[in-house]
Amino acid sequence: MHTKTAAEISQDLQAGKYTSVEITQVFLQRIKQIDSSLNSYITVSEEQALEQAKAADARRAAGNAGPLTGVPFAHKDIFCTDGIRTTCASRMLENFVPPYNSTVAQKLLDAGAVCLGKTNMDEFAMGSSNETSYFGAVKNPWELSRVSGGSSGGSAAAVAARLTPFATGTDTGGSIRQPAAFCGLTGLKPTYGRVSRLGVVAFASSLDQAGPMARTAEDAALMLQAMAGFDPKDSTCAERDVPDYLAALNQPLDGLRIGLPKEYFGADLDPAMADLIQAAIKELEALGAQVQEISLPNTALSVPAYYVIAPAEASANLSRFDGVRYGYRCENPTNLDDLYMRTRAEGFGDEVKRRILIGTYALSAGYYDAYYRKAQQIRRLIRDDFVKALESVDVILSPTTPGTAFNLNAMSADPVSMYLADLFTIPVNLAGLPAISMPAGLIDGLPAGLQLVGNYFEEARLLNIAHQFQQRTQWHTLAPQGVPV
């Protein structure tokens, strides 16, 4: 049962082939057997999961079931969950138990989905390898010596290893799409404002967006249907109707216009990745798509602009963690200054401290105009590049990442090299556009992802293209070799 997709489990539950309690027990047992080798979960909420499964079975018996009723899933440990600790993979919040649900958590609970637990991540979502977690690195189920990607690496590894049918993630600069590519999954970053951020612990407020991580585009559509929608409690949430994502999956791709940014396909691109992308393009052309070259001239400025804006917003958001109201508190502070300094020095990891320092410097008097304001101006240029390009094409295609999952500890001593690996994903967040990563092949036995970027609020189109691509290819069906599946 654990090898089935969320859509298949939903159909089986509807047909009465097994109960939600039975399928939940299967996944809980599998987590106990396998996750010690992956470290994909921080908290497994067995008791609450079985209670939710029993409630889902009762709901189904009463005739009130929806598509996700009784289907197990996992939350990235950045979503507040009532009664279940939310750590953000940090010592600072190691024992924090929220008294409320995030909007996303509540929506999935209302849909009847069963939360198995909270997945590992880079600390406060800051990282691209899931190595900055206070609870230890997550290993890639395709090859245990490799990273799973970050920051949503625990969610990616858990879905790929069949420890959950799907999981939530958040994407600030590629943190859904990059681990999805590294682990052979489908990961969708929705338009900024499509999904409520209420109760999602903030990293960079103008960039963060929650989204689904699953094995197929169909599962991602099923999940986004429940997650998306206006939230009056979130001032950044868009007041727009949510389309029927599942109904749009089977639309033909005849006449679809795909743009290939010449800046993404230069001499620096790995030849194996270039070949894989060309093979994927041929599949899309066979489905009726037309391909043309486009230009995104300010692409090279995206990484430096992002690594001013994101740390600046992080330094402001993380200022609340000071040992006074909640979270970690140092022992026996001698005065208020000592409380602040030792609490933050002991509670935060190195990468979080690095970004706080960068961000605070960029926002400081005398440097704000030179750094933060200038980065925001560049951000507008990057956004305008996308807007202009999407006037002549329907979607933009690129690799999700420059290469496949790298070895554990390979980049931990060189954070700048790791930052530069986000070249293809970061511009999308700066523009606030939706983007999806889907499995497009293997390179030396490791999965590689194809990224599609759409116009604002056109998640349905991206899911449709990914689904049609997956009807012609088998990459999304492959199981990782590093764990028993």
Check: CB of residue 305 under 8 Å from CB of residue 480.
no
Q: Structure tokens of 378? A: 């560049």
- Upper half-sphere CA count for residue 375 (Cβ side, 13 Å): 21
Give catalytic status of residue 76 as yes or no: yes
Q: Which entry of 10, 20, 45, 76 is annotated as an active-site residue?
A: 76
Query: CA 142, 148, 149, 153: dihedral to nearest 10 degrees?
Result: 130
Instruction: State the Cα–Cα distance between residues 328 and 96, nearest whole angstrom.
Output: 9
DSSP element (H, E) containing 469 = helix 459-472
Instruction: State the Cα–Cα distance between residues 72 and 114, nearest whole angstrom.
Output: 4
Give catalytic status of residue 282 as yes or no: no
Residue showing tokens 């993404």? 264
Instruction: State the Cα–Cα distance between residues 215 and 180, nearest whole angstrom.
Output: 9
17 secondary structure, DSSP code: S
Q: Structure tokens of 28? A: 């809980």
Q: Which entry of 40, 128, 129, 175 is annotated as an active-site residue?
A: 175
Instruction: State the Cα–Cα distance between residues 322 and 343, nearest whole angstrom.
Output: 6
Q: Structure tokens of 308? A: 């001013």
Query: By C-alpha distance, which of 146, 163, 213, 165 is closest to 42?
Result: 163
The residues that are catalytic are: 76, 151, 175
